[in-house]
Amino acid sequence: MAPVTSRSHLSVLRGFLALAAAVLCFSGDAAEARVLLTLDDFGAVGDGVANDTQAFLDAWTAACGSEEQAVLAVPAAKAYRIWPLQLTGPCKKKLKLLIAGTIVAPSSPDEWAGRDWMKWLYIYGVDNLSVSGGGTIDGAGQEWWARSCKRKKTQPCNTVAPPRVVHFEECRGVSVQGLTLQNGQHFHLSFTRCTDVKANFLRVVAPADSPNTDGIHLNDTSRVEIMDNLISVGDDCVSMVGNCSDIRVRDISCGPGHGISIGSLGKNRTTDRVENVRVDTCLLTNTTNGVRIKSWQGGMGFAHDLRFENIVMKNVSNPIIIDQYYCDQPTPCANQTEAVEVRKVEFVDVRGTSATAQAIDIACSDTVPCRELELKNVNLTLEGGGAASASCYKAFGKAVGTVVPASCLARHDS
């Protein structure tokens, strides 16, 4: 009797045969040899119904372990339903994940029972990974949103953070370009403790009322380029927390959403450090905030050397906001004296219309005031016509050029 072979073992066998064939096809020049693998080589069905998780994992294992540079393709015109998946490194060579088709999550949160609720497509410890291809990653987050306590006001409701759509951790030299990420259960694209990151030419979309569906989120990550993206979500288009530095955000269309945010910082008395951030040439439309710095009372650390430049606002609530009293919880936050220091922040060539009477709102700590702020060539008026206002508390700096509404910054500490 022939031995019984599991589907997984058959997939691996098919994969190694495909790997051998691909090496032969691409090894004409040993210096530039490439391996091309597809999910279908490993038994994936791609009908949007079958569980293709094991095929994806087997394909990743073969590609990551290849002695030649590998291209792992998700074929076009097919949908691969993938359950929570962890893709780990290090890989032997540079790896390209070419997503031309669609990767879709299970629709029910119940499928995460016994699993880590914060992870769906989780990539750990992989260097020099390129993800591209023009395809779609769909978090199918509708049921997660319906169960969230932020939307569902009666018990039972879900207070646990849902999974992130694509989450990179401890990775270096990562590039994510030319994809659509949609309907995230939580953050669409996030990076934790990563360096040398590019997230460009992306389309990130979810309904305006989908809770906590940030577009691109950074945590403890440095040397980042976020450029040429269209982001329309239910939370921050771009956000950064923890210890982030050397961040460039440029050519972004944001809205609806909660704007572009540094923070929240200092939650639960943590020490966060954010510095050398440049946000320029961005269009924000119908967002609940514009460009924002937010921190909790009691936090420590700093937000230094930040520049927001060439920003156009269209019907944006709170276009410019610094809030050292941020409190996102159902009960009031206790007054505390420690605060994340905000210093050397520039708002340059910011113009457009405000949906709120107050276009500039800067509320800083009594004990750790905001210093070295600059408003330069700012022109914000009310949507529909009329003058907007500005409010400052414990905010020190200067106005340069024409500033509308008139600057409220104090020139010296008093």
Residues 342-354 have pLDDT tens digits of 999 999 999 999 9
Least confident of 5-14, 26-35, 110-119, 272-281: 5-14
Residue (of 146, 144, 138) closest to 182 by Cα position: 138
Higher pLDDT, 33 or 338: 338
Are 64 and 40 spatial neighbours (Cβ–Cβ below 8 Å)? no
Grouping H, G, I as helix, E, B as strand and the rest as coil, residue 68 is coil
Higher pLDDT, 202 or 15: 202
DSSP code of residue 81: E
Q: What are phi and psi of 160, to 5 degrees?
A: -80, 140
Q: What does the alpha-carbon distance between residue 254 and residue 269 come to, in Å, rounded to a whole number?
A: 31
> One of 258, 272, 323, 361 is an active-site residue; which one?
258
Residue (of 325, 214, 204) closest to 260 by Cα position: 214
Question: Residue 159: its pLDDT value, please?
Answer: 85
Question: Residue 160: its pLDDT value, please?
Answer: 87
- Other residues' Cβ atoms within 10 Å of the Cβ of residue 198: 17
Q: What does the alpha-carbon distance between residue 220 and residue 377 come to, in Å, rounded to a whole number?
A: 32
Q: What are phi and psi of 269, to 5 degrees?
A: 65, 30
Q: What does the alpha-carbon distance between residue 27 and residue 65 come to, in Å, rounded to a whole number?
A: 17
Question: Residue 34: its pLDDT value, please?
Answer: 86
Q: In sequence order, which residues have a C-beta less than 8 Å from that of residue 162 and are 6 or more positions away?
A: 109, 117, 118, 141, 144, 148, 185, 186, 212
Q: Which residue has the tokens 């008093």?
A: 414
Res. 30 pLDDT band, cuts 50 70 90: very low
Residues 268-299 have pLDDT tens digits of 999 999 999 999 999 999 999 999 999 999 99
Are 102 and 138 spatial neighbours (Cβ–Cβ below 8 Å)? yes
DSSP code of residue 165: E
Higher pLDDT, 30 or 251: 251
Mean pLDDT computed over every residue of the chain: 92
Annotated catalytic residue 272 = no
Question: Residue 66: its pLDDT value, please?
Answer: 96
Residues 70-85 have pLDDT tens digits of 999 999 999 999 999 9
Question: What pairs with residue 389 in β-bridges?
Answer: 358
Res. 401 pLDDT band, cuts 50 70 90: very high
Question: Residue 32: its pLDDT value, please?
Answer: 55
Q: What does the alpha-carbon distance between residue 385 and residue 354 come to, in Å, rounded to a whole number?
A: 10
Annotated catalytic residue 280 = no
Q: What does the alpha-carbon distance between residue 356 and residue 261 come to, in Å, rounded to a whole number?
A: 18
Question: Residue 245: its pLDDT value, please?
Answer: 98
- Other residues' Cβ atoms within 10 Å of the Cβ of residue 274: 26
Tell me what the mean pLDDT of segment 111-139 comes to: 96
> One of 235, 236, 272, 361 is an active-site residue; which one?
235
Q: What are phi and psi of 19, to 5 degrees?
A: -60, -45
Question: Residue 254: its pLDDT value, please?
Answer: 98
Grouping H, G, I as helix, E, B as strand and the rest as coil, residue 139 is coil
Question: Residue 33: its pLDDT value, please?
Answer: 64
Residue (of 300, 307, 239, 299) closest to 275 by Cα position: 307
Tell me what the mean pLDDT of segment 329-351 comes to: 95
Q: In sequence order, which residues have a C-beta less than 8 Å from that of residue 140 and are 6 or more positions away?
A: 104, 105, 106, 107, 183, 185
Token code pair at residue 15 = 């994969």
Res. 369 pLDDT band, cuts 50 70 90: very high
Q: What are phi and psi of 8, to 5 degrees?
A: -65, -45
